[in-house]
């Protein structure tokens, strides 16, 4: 019997995502001027207020307030009526020095023996149901909000959009786990005030169904066949959504970890990503396990794969590595045997993850909205500035964990 599966996404203007983007902008600035920076930075946003807190060990000094304001402005909070505006919001910094007790467990005389920044388990997942090896419901949820943000910035076809938004997509799957159609789409978008609520709701629903959805079908033609006349649309189902962003809901770093990863598919170890430098395996090992899972599926080893790794704080070697193929393996090996081979291909000690994926670079701002996984690897040039006038321009690779650079090694190891 067929079944339904749902994933959600949130926009860059969602309060929790504002917090993630500020935290990751701080990470990028610290790493740009001191690649060995150790940073764990949390952000809270609420009505007219930003609070920064965390621990840092770095040789550089930053204007953290200006960095936060630049992020808020880029997102689109630039009007006083939003009750949260880039130039006027208050910003309090409570960032202090990293604990030496933690640092001594990470830094080693020999870099290769760098210890894990914390204990815990991390998961990476991949499925061949999409071209980017991501779960389809999440991929569509992200796409809806990316295009909605494009419409907001264009300010031509739809002129009343504000930055805060959420989406949700429900898919119908067949018995053999193949997506058949979209059953329901939920979109809640913040908007300017209207004179009459019934007119407002009708206008927003009409615009999103007649303008946004066709753009999605045109931009993602591989998904066009999933759209149909029987889709149930819930557009701003609570009605009026003028009060939003940090004025409507306090935002915190790290509260959208399922949006950031696989939309509820696979598994999650519980650790957030944003605001953490790559010595924190919550982030680096989650990227590394995604890299493994994606390359294994792309090599044809299985249709769907979940990779788990775990660490003890201050210890380089993982306490476990496990691969689950959900019964879709194409090679004559058990999941345990596959795990042993994977362990030999991918060195999962923290230093080697950092080197393999080039994680000690300012590459994190781009991850902080619309998912850390399933994105397109690209090379970009960025410029950073310190309060004392120092300027640094760097060329970096983004989303290195999405590269299919180990497919040949996997095929050779498994004789595929």
Q: What strands lie across the sheet with 38-46, from one edge to the other?
A: 90-97, 49-57, 38-46, 251-252
105 vs 349, higher pLDDT: 349
Q: Is 283 annotated as a binding residue?
A: no
**pLDDT digit string, tens, across residues 17-62:** 999 999 999 999 999 999 999 999 999 999 999 999 999 999 999 9
This prediction's pTM: 0.96
The domain that contains 371 carries what CATH number? Answer: 3.30.300.10
Claim to verify: residue 312 and residue 391 sit in the same structural domain:
yes
Q: Judge whether 247 is annotated as a binding position.
A: no
Per-residue pLDDT at 109 exceeds 70: no
What span, in angstroms and rounded, lies between the C-alpha atoms of 34 and 304? 39
User: Which residues sit opposite 123 in a β-bridge?
Assistant: 308
pLDDT at res. 101: 54
Spatial CB neighbours of 256, under 8 Å, sequence gap ≥ 6 = 10, 14, 16, 17, 20
Q: Which residues constitute the domain of residue 220?
A: 3-10+136-244
35 is in an annotated binding site: no
Closest CA to 37 of 311, 275, 295: 275
Does 266 map to a domain?
no
Is residue 346 a known part of a binding site? no
The answer to the question of whether 85 is labelled as a binding residue is no
In-domain check, residue 402:
yes
Q: Are 290 and 231 found together in one domain?
A: no
Same domain? For 238 and 302 the reply is: no
The answer to whether residue 283 is domain-embedded is yes
Q: How confident is the model at residue 232 (pLDDT cuts 50, 70, 90)?
A: very high
Q: Is 349 annotated as a binding residue?
A: no
- How confident is the model over 61-99, as pLDDT tens digits? 999 999 999 999 999 999 999 999 999 999 999 999 866
Cα-Cα end-to-end distance for the chain: 33
> Which residue has tokens 């994977």?
342
Examine the domain organization and report whether 168 and 288 are in the same domain.
Answer: no
265 labeled part of a ligand binding site: no
Residue 405's Cβ-side half-sphere holds a number of Cα atoms within 13 Å equal to: 11
Check whether 311 has a pLDDT greater than 80.
yes
233, two tokens: 């649309």
* pLDDT tens column, 174-196: 999 999 999 999 999 999 999 88
Residues 312 and 332 in one domain: yes
Per-residue CA distances from 368 to 226, 280, 352 (Å) = 28, 16, 24
Find out whether 55 is annotated in a ligand binding site.
yes
Split at pLDDT 50, 70, 90, the class of 118 is confident
């Amino acid at each position: 019997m067929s079944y339904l599966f749902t994933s959600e996404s949130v926009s860059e203007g969602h309060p929790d995502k504002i917090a993630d983007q500020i935290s990751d902008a701080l990470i990028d600035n610290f790493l740009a001027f001191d690649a060995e920076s150790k940073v764990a930075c949390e952000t809270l946003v609420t009505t007219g207020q930003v609070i920064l807190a965390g621990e840092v060990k770095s040789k550089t000094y930053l204007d953290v307030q200006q960095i936060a304001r630049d992020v808020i402005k880029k997102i689109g909070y630039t009007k006083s009526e939003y009750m949260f505006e880039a130039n006027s919001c208050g910003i309090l910094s409570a960032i202090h020095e990293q604990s030496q007790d933690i640092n001594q467990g990470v830094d080693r005389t020999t870099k290769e023996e760098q210890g894990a920044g914390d204990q815990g388990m991390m998961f990476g997942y991949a499925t061949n149901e999409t071209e980017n090896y991501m779960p389809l419901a999440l991929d569509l949820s992200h796409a809806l909000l990316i295009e909605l943000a494009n419409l907001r910035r264009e300010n031509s076809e739809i002129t009343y959009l504000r930055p805060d938004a959420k989406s949700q997509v429900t898919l119908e799957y067949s018995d053999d786990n193949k997506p058949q159609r979209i059953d329901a789409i939920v979109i809640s978008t913040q908007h300017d005030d209207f004179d009459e609520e019934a007119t407002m709701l009708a206008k927003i629903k009409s615009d999103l169904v007649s303008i946004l959805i066709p753009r999605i079908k045109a931009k993602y033609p591989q998904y066009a066949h999933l759209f149909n006349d029987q889709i149930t649309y819930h557009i701003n189902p609570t009605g009026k959504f003028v009060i939003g962003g940090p004025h409507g809901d306090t935002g915190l770093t790290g509260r959208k970890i399922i949006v950031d990863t696989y939309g509820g598919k696979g598994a999650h170890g519980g650790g957030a990503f944003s605001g953490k430098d790559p010595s924190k395996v919550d982030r680096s090992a989650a990227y590394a396990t995604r890299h493994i899972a994606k390359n294994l599926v792309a090599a044809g080893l299985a249709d769907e794969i979940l990779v788990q790794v775990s660490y003890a704080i201050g210890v380089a070697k993982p306490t476990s590595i496990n691969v689950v193929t959900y019964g879709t393996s194409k090679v004559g090996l058990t999941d345990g045997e596959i795990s042993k081979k994977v362990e030999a291909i991918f060195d999962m000690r923290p230093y080697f993850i950092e080197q393999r994926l080039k994680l000690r670079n300012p590459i994190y701002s781009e991850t902080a909205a619309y998912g850390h996984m399933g994105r397109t690897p690209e090379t970009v040039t960025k410029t950073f500035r310190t309060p004392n006038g120092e300027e640094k321009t760097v060329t970096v690779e983004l989303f290195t964990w999405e590269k299919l650079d180990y497919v040949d090694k996997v095929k050779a190891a498994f004789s595929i």
